[in-house]
Amino acid sequence: MHIPENYLSPVSCAVMGAAMIPVWIHAVRKTNKEMPKEKIPLLGAGAAFSFLAMMFNVPLVGGTTGHAVGGTLIALLFGPNAACLAVSVALLLQALIFGDGGILAFGANCFNMAFILPYVGYGVYRLIKGRGQAGNARTYLAAAIGAYVGINAAALCCSIEFGLQPMLFKDAAGNALYCPYDLSIAIPAMMIPHLAVAGVVEAVFTVAVYALVRKTSPDLTYERIRSDEPEDGKKNRLPIFALIAVLIAACPLGLLAAGTAWGEWGADEIAEVITKGKTLGYTPAGLEKGWSLNVPMPDYALEGMNEVVAYILSAIIGVALLVILFKLLSLAMKGRRKAA
């Protein structure tokens, strides 16, 4: 779901970026108010979950690949505002270091995965779970449906952003300048795989990790963070970090999914992509001559390197950087004072 560089026109990128600015401001303010200062470093662990989830590519119907995002999970653990920040930072890291998602398209990617996903996912979760104390089964069901709806809402936004491009930006010959597929192709191409596979993966991932956290560190759920209840002593962070370690070790499984995610082809690939039985036949001008940044590790690997090892090392570096970043952020942010 990461929109690469030059698939969106610069104007669309600017609009999406501008739309994100008030969201980020709101998210930072609310997080400052809601989160106790000592919990902010743990947000780094949440961002790490999201980062790792995005590395697990699963093969989808139609020869493309997709991945979970984990935005709803972070929203369940730390609240949608903190989730917005965590996913944004994870996306920034991916764009700057690993070339996953464009720098110009950063605003659009954040809009889909850091804004729509956690807020919709958490909203649906609250709706199903209801106000009062809910049983375990209902809570997990609510989490699963929230995650499923959240990632699909994000995919829908993403496909609409793709689909609007050929309608708005064309050259003299009628060829699209940027993404060449209009709404009638982009929406089914994005939505069918996400409804069928990626949504389920996201729901399973969310419920599994959420259940683990509720069992081992019950103080780390958004409901508990918001309420001023005194903390009971029962918490054990070790399983969370052990799970991160296991995910890092297992992430080369994401390499098994061959093929490129829909809408993430390189400029050399796109002319050959088969849609409705025929290839596109040309490379959109904006893609061919577009701006691109030489990132240190494109696609989580370096040339002439063992792919698996490079993938694992990328995961370690990414997770470490996220944890360090949020630890530094926790110093800069004021955080909520503990209720006296």
Pick the closest to residue 67 from 251, 241, 239 (CA basis). 251
Which of residues 58, 141, 295, 317 is near other proteins by CB under 8 A? 317
Q: Judged by CB under 8 A, does residue 321 bind other proteins?
A: yes
Q: How many CB atoms lie within 10 A of CB 198?
A: 27
Q: Judged by CB under 8 A, does residue 47 bind other proteins?
A: no
**C-alpha–C-alpha distance, residues 134 and 141, integer Å:** 11
Q: How many residues bind other proteins (CB under 8 A)?
A: 22
Can you read off the two tokens belonging to residue 37? 């200062």
Nearer to other proteins, 36 or 41 (CB): 41
Whole-number minimum distance, CB 16 to other proteins, in Å? 30
Whole-number minimum distance, CB 39 to other proteins, in Å? 12
Which of residues 279, 331, 334, 338 is near other proteins by CB under 8 A? 331
Residues 6+ apart with CB under 8 A from 303: none
Q: Judged by CB under 8 A, does residue 168 bind other proteins?
A: no
Q: Judged by CB under 8 A, does residue 261 bind other proteins?
A: no
**C-alpha–C-alpha distance, residues 299 and 307, integer Å:** 10
Q: How many CB atoms lie within 10 A of CB 274?
A: 10
What angle separates helix 71-78 from helix 136-168, to the nearest 10 degrees? Answer: 130
Q: Give me the amino acid identity at 107.
A: G
Whole-number minimum distance, CB 298 to other proteins, in Å? 13
Nearer to other proteins, 44 or 193 (CB): 44
Residue 50: C-alpha distances to residues 70, 94, 126 (Å) = 5, 11, 21
Nearer to other proteins, 45 or 105 (CB): 45
Nearer to other proteins, 30 or 327 (CB): 327
Pick the closest to residue 74 from 176, 202, 172, 177 (CA basis). 202
Footprint of other proteins on 295-314 (CB under 8 A): 296-297, 302, 304-306, 309-310, 313-314
- Note the residues at the interface with other proteins (CB under 8 A): 41, 296-297, 302, 304-306, 309-310, 313-314, 316-317, 319-321, 323-324, 327-328, 330-331
